[in-house]
Structure 1
């Protein structure tokens, strides 16, 4: 399982651990990933995603999974989240046309 957020695309970062004597050793900063189940109101379905805590706050701020996915760019989403976004746009365009 990769250490990457499925919604925001946040990945691990590489940096230095610096000692008191200024000796630098490589270390990695891992994102705070949580397993959550988010439901889509338009699609009427729930999805299990592995996202960061910051992305979860953004989902709440934008009014749920649907609002977040509609504002997100396709490049930063994972393949699963991009597929959900395409299904959501398709469903919304069908309801507007009808």
Structure 2
């Protein structure tokens, strides 16, 4: 996990002052693989497992873990929280529309 500043908004960089409300956004990304298992013989299945295992051994452990599960955190001021709720993927902003 990347270090998260709780002193400023992750989006607009507004500083947190005493008495203001900020929001912690936690996003969990989990792999959802929909595989169709082929009719493989025992030997073919064993070869496929060995091939995948060999590929995995060449990769970094953190990279492999991030493909399966990742958590991302944002610390948002009230305004940025409202904007995030209205347009979480930024599609309106990308089209030049406002969500205020």
Global fold match (TM > 0.5): no
Relative contact order: is structure 1 or structure 2 higher (C-alpha 8 Å, sep ≥ 6)?
Answer: 2
Give the number of the structure whose alpha-carbon radius of gyration is greater.
2
TM-score w.r.t. the length of structure 1 is 0.33
TM-score w.r.t. the length of structure 2 is 0.33
